[in-house]
Structure 1
Amino acid sequence: MSPSSAAGRLGLQQFAMAADSLAIRSLDWDRDRFDIEFGLRNGTTYNSFLIRGERTALVDTSHAKFRDSWISTLQNLVDPTRIDVLVVSHTEPDHSGLIGDLLALNPELEIVASKVAIQFLKDLLHRPFRSQAVKSGSRLELGVNPDSGINHQLEFLSTPNLHWPDTIFSYDHGTGVLYTCDAFGLHFCSDDSLDSDPEAIAPDFRFYYDCLMGPNSRSVLQAIKRMGTLPPVRTIATGHGPLLQYHLSRWVEDYRSWSQQRNRGQAYSAICTISQYGFCDPVSRAIAQGISKTDAQTQLVDLRATDPQELTALVSEAQAVVIPTPPAAPDGELQQSVGTMLAALHSKQLVAIYDAYGGDDEPIDTMAAQLRQLGTRPAFAPLRIRETPTEATYQRCEEAGTDLGQLLMRARTIQAMKSLDASMDKALGRISGGLYVVTAAQEGRSSAMVASWVAQASFQPPGVTVAVARDRAIEALLQVGDRFVLNILSQDNHQQLLRHFLKRFPPGADRFAGVNILPSAAPGGPVLADALAFLGCCVRQRLEAGDHWVIYAEVESGRVADQEGQTAVHHRKVGNHY
């Protein structure tokens, strides 16, 4: 195991996680981005597993950046030619990056995966290999380990879209270990290989769910339902972060309750993607994440992996549909899927389109014209991507999704505003607050919002709380460990700033254009030159509170511009909307 004090490094960790079962964890201590749009605060790990029965199986490989160290570690554990089976949970490169290297060492290796995964690997590896396609209920006999006497038999569950279209779970009847790859994982790198400290990993566990699993909450519930058919699960061996063993019921129940919350109604948005084409996958997830922030429901739909009947149902029943530009010359199956998708659209739906940026896309204007001919209504302006996506690109996609989600939720929001008791509503409105502008910036991304639900929360260390609506664009920049600036507005000089930051910005717009900024005044976000004072803050905790997040942050710096000035105060008449 590598010492955790080293900086900017990769490491390998191995340990016995069950009888005849070893975990090999590739530790990426300082990775701060995943798929570009997914910011990491605590690095990540890529986990693979070795199971020894009468036959030997390896579950997943690792990221290509670990090629030398991972292969060397594996060779010290087992002769690669003695590995009989490689179970590929899914083909995302961070888990499949060394399959080619493994086949070079053992050409007779049999790859066990879903049918879709095997097809992806054929296109990826460009070499013949032995394979076996499995689905829910399929079993693989590894036999009895001669030392322990335990019979290892793997049972497979088909769990597409968690979060890859070709995902499978593998359950070892001999040990009660469920291998889930991305599901139930988290991007968290530490020397602790198990979930011994749940509170330390809980924020990252939730953030990971929101970004990767939440957009497919229907699929999450189906996976949990299938897990219920298995004998007791003793350990969830995830593809990222610590393995889950001490608090299993908590993690599974979290997934269940969060997914049920996202599926309270029937209306949803179908976010179509073409797996492993251009930037479809991260762009579609960014749009879905933006929609989900409004409590509107989403369903990612992979045009490669979804069968025609299911594709027709998912698209035709959606309230809104977001589609990518497909290849100008798609293969036969993909062309059929695109045709099925277009045929399922109808005039009552909101439909939007985004550039896949795959190098050979159908022109986005041609697709937009085709959608107009079908009589659909635009959900948002076409998202044109003309260069390799950056964090700002993904922020624009997320904000477009949030705008769509707010549009879909408008009727429910109005109904909720009318549902409160009038007397209580007026009384709640008598709670006054100051006026502030919260600003945040991170490596090419920036945002701002007007806030009035702000309060000092502690003396030592100095701390404040800020309530942030779930559908605010800035919410993504206020995760644990992030920094922001709280700009306190002046009673005598706040109207212009208030008007500027209260207006509706189009997706990706620069919220600070035309605003006077103090250069390098505080880390975390712009300091407004016309503010009465500012506080530089670092997020320490996030509390889920109804339709808002309550952000608790420690104050790290601050300055007052006008010692005699007074904070602008906001008085409301009602308490059920801003």
Structure 2
Amino acid sequence: MVALTHQGTHLRALNRLTLQTNTIGENTTAIRCLDWDRDRFDIEFGLRNGTTYNSFIIEGEKTALVDTSHGKFRQLYLDCLKDLIDLSTLDYLIVSHTEPDHSGLVKDVLKLAPNVTVVGSKVAIQFLENMVHQPFKSLIVKSGSSLDLGQGHELQFISAPNLHWPDTIFTYDQKTSILYTCDVFGMHYCDDYIYDEEPDLLQADFKYYYDCLMGPNARSVLAALKRIDKLEIDTIATGHGPLLKHHIPQWINDYEKWSKEQAKTDNLVVIFYDEDYGYGEEIARHIAQGLQKTEVNIDLIDLSTTDPHETRQLVYEAKGLVLGMPSQSDDHAQVIVNTILAVAHPKQAIGLFESGGGEDEPIYPLRNKLQEIGVTEGFPPILVKTAPTPNTEKMAEEAGTDLGQWITRDRSIKNIKNIDSGLERALGRISNGLYLITANKGEIAGSMLASWVIQASLEPLGVAIAVSKDRAIESLLHPGDRFVLNVLEEGNAQGLMKHFLKRFAPGADRFAGVKTYPAQNGSQILANALAYLECEVISRTDCGDHWMIYSTVQRGRVSNVDGLTAVHHRKVGTHY
């Protein structure tokens, strides 16, 4: 083992960064970047024992690097990497997924290894193209793909979407029986042990990590466990914490037990798509993003690999179905579509979308057959003829949210009915003004009627807005985004409220028929608003079912100095 310490004469105790290299298999080296004092992860998760970022080198006749590291380790990591291998001859860079703590140094490696081929899932390669902003050679892999490095190191790839990013893949080396899983089976735990020497010390952090990152996708965890069930695994090379070697059955059994406890079929939506046909996967994942806002359970199923028995069971359990049109010439996919038609029932909602591959199964005859069964249409068909634009992607996301809101409507109605005459009615006596938020981001425009708005700071001038997590506009309100807060006027708000409270079809122009003009930040100012404020998002805070958006105010204007802000009075505090 080699240990390197971050160099610098003014390091504080709370910034200890060290690095380890270890041989973990034949011609296989682990590079572990140890972040001893990190106390937060993904903003909302507190850490007690720091964390590590693990990267791996596999050397056969060709050489592969599995993942990189966090940007804070740039010099330490790159110096170590150059000592271990000749980067100018690096053949492959395998990207397990593109979260920055694992791909933060991909661009640096591409600069030092200009001939390298980047290996990843289709979604990962697309994400990387937007991250590194330079051309690179790539190889797209999925379950069943393999890559022969020579000397027995034949790599087998396993798709593991949504664990916990949509682009995740596992890599299994036949030579060493090492399974590289990135975030899966990891934990935020930093110590000098390369392996799981003391499981009792690790158990709490292992469970905490599962609960935070894997538990919300329990059904996807079970699907991934099923895909690796037949592998002979000597070591699980994780992206965080110690590698797992001595107690592998225990760790896998824990994941299976916890996932079965959480993988409920209540409010299950199954999305069927063809991973290799047209733009089906891209559209499916944007629909899934919209569904996630409504806290339904989601299964993403590849039409080209699923079997009729599994399909029958999933469709029977599902409350919602989404189907991307497969190729007319794909016989297996046609069998699956027919299975869906045979099992679908009137208590379900369904949405259809084209994949845009050039020979899609016709969408409207299938829609007619489903309507004859009596299923509810969760969103109008999404038609895709060319490469998806940001507007297409936003339409798909909004469609997913609409479907999810239909699925969870009974829960929402029940929550409204279960009103306590004391607390909820007292909370409802907090009155608020009425505002219309407008936001533009490139080609995408959004709006939202809001009442939970307050001035939050004087220096700098700032406002805070509570935005429900299932609102379409929330994706346009991340740090750095800009919007306009339009203040509605007492006695002159009904027309605007009626317009913006109606239900819009996914992708519809929300400003059609409304007088607006552009603000300096690119968003829309309502001509009939009492006042407006141009704002920039600084931070988002998780507040349960809402995001609290804190923003600074750059400029504003009042159209009627004698006007008063429209006020919203609620009867209860459990709904708007």
- TM more than 0.5: yes
- The residue number in structure 2 matching 1:318 is 318
- For residues 343-389 of structure 1, the C-alpha deviation after alignment (integer angstroms, 9 at most, x for no partner) is 33233322221111111112211221232344433222222234432
Q: 1:259 to 1:470 in 2, by over 3 A?
A: farther
Question: CA–CA distance in 2 between the matches of 1:506 and 1:214?
Answer: 32
Question: CA–CA distance in 2 between the matches of 1:539 and 1:173?
Answer: 50
Question: CA–CA distance in 1 between the matches of 2:476 and 2:510?
Answer: 14
What secondary structure does 2:521 align onto? coil
- The residue number in structure 2 matching 1:526 is 524
- The residue number in structure 2 matching 1:294 is 294
Q: 1:492 to 1:404 in 2, by over 3 A?
A: same
Q: Give the letter for the 2:505 counterpart.
A: P
- For residues 52-85 of structure 1, the C-alpha deviation after alignment (integer angstroms, 9 at most, x for no partner) is 56876514699xxxxxxxxxx99942646899xx
Question: In the TM superposition, what is the alpha-carbon distance from 1:402 to its structure 2 partner?
Answer: 1.4
- The residue number in structure 1 matching 2:22 is 19
Comparing 397-406 with 307-316, which one deviates more in the overlay? 307-316
Q: Give the letter for the 1:367 counterpart.
A: L
Comparing 47-56 with 372-381, which one deviates more in the overlay? 47-56
- The residue number in structure 2 matching 1:422 is 421
Contact 1:50 1:57 in 2 (8 A): no
Question: In the TM superposition, what is the alpha-carbon distance from 1:449 to its structure 2 partner?
Answer: 0.9
Q: Give the letter for the 1:537 counterpart.
A: C
- The residue number in structure 1 matching 2:125 is 94
Matched, 1:280 2:283: no
Which segments of 5 or more consecutive residues in structure 1 lack a partner in the other structure? 1-14, 24-46, 63-72, 104-110, 119-128, 133-139, 143-152, 185-208, 238-243, 249-254
Q: 1:474 to 1:87 in 2, by over 3 A?
A: closer
Q: Give the letter for the 1:294 counterpart.
A: T
Q: Give the letter for the 2:326 counterpart.
A: P
Contact 1:114 1:166 in 2 (8 A): no
Question: CA–CA distance in 1 between the matches of 2:381 and 2:508?
Answer: 15
Equivalent pairs: percent with the same residue? Answer: 39
The count of aligned residue pairs is 454
Question: CA–CA distance in 1 between the matches of 2:290 and 2:379?
Answer: 13
Q: Give the letter for the 2:370 counterpart.
A: L
- The residue number in structure 2 matching 1:123 is none
Question: In the TM superposition, what is the alpha-carbon distance from 1:273 to its structure 2 partner?
Answer: 0.9
Matched, 1:58 2:68: no
- For residues 212-251 of structure 1, the C-alpha deviation after alignment (integer angstroms, 9 at most, x for no partner) is x999552146659999999998x854xxxxxx569x9xxx
- For residues 4-55 of structure 1, the C-alpha deviation after alignment (integer angstroms, 9 at most, x for no partner) is xxxxxxxxxxx977436488xxxxxxxxxxxxxxxxxxxxxxx996515687
- The residue number in structure 2 matching 1:559 is 557
Contact 1:158 1:168 in 2 (8 A): yes
Question: CA–CA distance in 2 between the matches of 1:356 and 1:214?
Answer: 30
Question: CA–CA distance in 1 between the matches of 2:557 and 2:219?
Answer: 48
Question: CA–CA distance in 1 between the matches of 2:540 and 2:261?
Answer: 18
TM-score (norm 2): 0.66
Question: In the TM superposition, what is the alpha-carbon distance from 1:309 to its structure 2 partner?
Answer: 2.7
1:210-249, aligned counterparts within 5 Å? 217-220=218-221, 236-237=238-239
Contact 2:267 2:297 in 1 (8 A): yes
Contact 2:145 2:157 in 1 (8 A): no
Question: CA–CA distance in 1 between the matches of 2:287 and 2:425?
Answer: 36
Contact 1:215 1:289 in 2 (8 A): no
Q: 1:59 to 1:500 in 2, by over 3 A?
A: same
Comparing 426-435 with 559-568, which one deviates more in the overlay? 559-568
- The residue number in structure 2 matching 1:436 is 435
Question: In the TM superposition, what is the alpha-carbon distance from 1:419 to its structure 2 partner?
Answer: 2.1
Q: Give the letter for the 1:576 counterpart.
A: T
Question: CA–CA distance in 1 between the matches of 2:63 and 2:305?
Answer: 26
Question: CA–CA distance in 2 between the matches of 1:131 and 1:486?
Answer: 57
Question: CA–CA distance in 2 between the matches of 1:539 and 1:262?
Answer: 34
Matched, 1:503 2:502: yes
1:264-413, aligned counterparts within 5 Å? 266-330=266-330, 332-413=331-412
What secondary structure does 1:422 align onto? coil
1:152-171, aligned counterparts within 5 Å? 159=160, 162=163, 167-169=169-171
What secondary structure does 1:537 align onto? strand
Q: 1:171 to 1:483 in 2, by over 3 A?
A: farther
Question: In the TM superposition, what is the alpha-carbon distance from 1:451 to its structure 2 partner?
Answer: 0.5
What secondary structure does 2:144 align onto? helix
Contact 2:328 2:360 in 1 (8 A): yes
What secondary structure does 2:529 align onto? coil
Question: In the TM superposition, what is the alpha-carbon distance from 1:428 to its structure 2 partner?
Answer: 0.8
Question: CA–CA distance in 1 between the matches of 2:572 and 2:92?
Answer: 71
- For residues 431-479 of structure 1, the C-alpha deviation after alignment (integer angstroms, 9 at most, x for no partner) is 0011100110111111111111001111111111101111111111111
Q: Give the letter for the 1:94 counterpart.
A: I
Question: In the TM superposition, what is the alpha-carbon distance from 1:311 to its structure 2 partner?
Answer: 2.3
Question: CA–CA distance in 1 between the matches of 2:174 and 2:538?
Answer: 39
- For residues 114-138 of structure 1, the C-alpha deviation after alignment (integer angstroms, 9 at most, x for no partner) is 65335xxxxxxxxxx8599xxxxxx
Contact 2:118 2:138 in 1 (8 A): no
Q: Give the letter for the 1:159 counterpart.
A: A
